[in-house]
Amino acid sequence: MNDLKEITAQNQPCKLLNLQLRSIDGSIIDCVFWEKYAEEIHSYVESFSGGPIVLLCSLMRINVYKGKPTIQSGKSSTKLFINSDIPEINEFKEKMPSFFGQLYFGFSKNYF
């Protein structure tokens, strides 16, 4: 995982975490998490003892950066669940191949 970065955006200091997440089918997408979301994910991963980490995010923005699609958290509107004991994450873990890396993402057909 990348380190938590402190940058200046719109003349304000802020925290940023860049991740590449992998879906069950092996697709990779670049993700940018800002401020509290960056801190929350970084803290969780740093203290996690092992096994897969599943992120469930909603209200993310889609941007194109250097010709590639990326998703970004909002400043306060994003909903983030990390390995939460909820049906969507539990079902995703059951379908997840064991040979993938540590971080995964999934999109519901209902939203796209």
Mean residue pLDDT of the chain comes to 81
**pLDDT of the residue at 110:** 38
**pLDDT of the residue at 1:** 57
pTM score: 0.75
Domains of the chain (ranges; CATH) run 5-104 (2.40.50.140)
Question: Which segment of 13-27, 34-48, 67-81 scores lowest on mean pLDDT?
Answer: 13-27
Cβ distance 1 to 19 under 8 Å? yes
Task: Give the residue carrying structure tokens 């590639």.
Answer: 68
Q: Is 24 helix (H, G, I), strand (E, B) or coil?
A: coil
- pLDDT above 90 covers a percentage of the chain that reads 35
DSSP code for 95 = H
DSSP code for 60 = P
